């Protein structure tokens, strides 16, 4: 039996790209949050490590397709950077999503979308990188080979380490966004 897998790729629009780029340079105050395992997590503020945020719209097939790339950042850089998924779900649903997809990164529930809105994120698969002072250095409204390449380089620069090989396949060549969070 042969199956066909088709991903619905939605290119990032110029307006989404512009909105994401406006976030760069913003200083994010420290926020103490709780992940799906009940452990404390800090986003923003002064930290000893950069932080990569991957925004997830629960039920979005593109978010599920992009998840392995966030996993790879956790695998390759978990020793020098924090990687968090922020999902638009309550703790129980967020935990279920994390377990179902075997997320390698820590997942933070955001049922009210307060965190998501505070970063100006409108669609799943968005990725934001914060430096050790809580400043947004990179903001993408989706993912692609070029955005993953940029994040890989920036994480290594912020962490002060040599760039590590990163597997980009099968990332799209055109920056692709996920489902809107819909407020």
**The pTM is what?**
0.94
Closest CA to 169 of 148, 152, 138: 148
At the fourth CATH level, the homologous superfamily of domain 11-35+45-177 is Glutaredoxin (3.40.30.10)
Residue range 83-141, pLDDT digits in tens: 999 999 999 999 999 999 999 999 999 999 999 999 999 999 999 999 999 999 999 99
Evaluate whether 128 touches 139 at the Cβ level (below 8 Å).
yes
Tens digits of per-residue pLDDT, 137-172?
Answer: 999 999 999 999 999 999 999 999 999 999 998 999
Domain ranges of the chain: 11-35+45-177
């Amino acid at each position: 039996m042969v199956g066909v897998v088709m991903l619905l790729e939605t290119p990032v629009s110029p307006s989404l790209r512009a909105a994401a780029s406006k976030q760069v340079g913003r200083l994010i105050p420290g926020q103490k949050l709780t992940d799906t395992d009940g452990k404390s997590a800090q986003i923003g503020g002064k930290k000893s490590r950069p932080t990569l945020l991957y925004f997830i719209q629960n039920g979005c097939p593109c978010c599920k397709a992009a998840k392995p790339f966030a996993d790879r950042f956790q695998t390759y850089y978990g020793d020098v950077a924090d990687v968090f998924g922020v999902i638009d779900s309550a703790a129980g649903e967020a935990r279920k999503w994390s377990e179902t997809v075997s997320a390698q990164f820590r997942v933070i529930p955001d049922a009210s979308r307060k965190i998501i809105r505070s970063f100006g994120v409108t669609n799943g698969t968005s990725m934001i990188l914060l430096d050790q002072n809580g400043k947004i250095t990179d903001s993408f409204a989706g993912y692609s080979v070029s955005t993953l390449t940029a994040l890989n380089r920036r994480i290594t620069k912020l962490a002060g380490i040599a760039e590590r090989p990163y597997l980009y396949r099968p990332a799209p060549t055109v920056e692709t966004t996920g489902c809107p969070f819909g407020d």
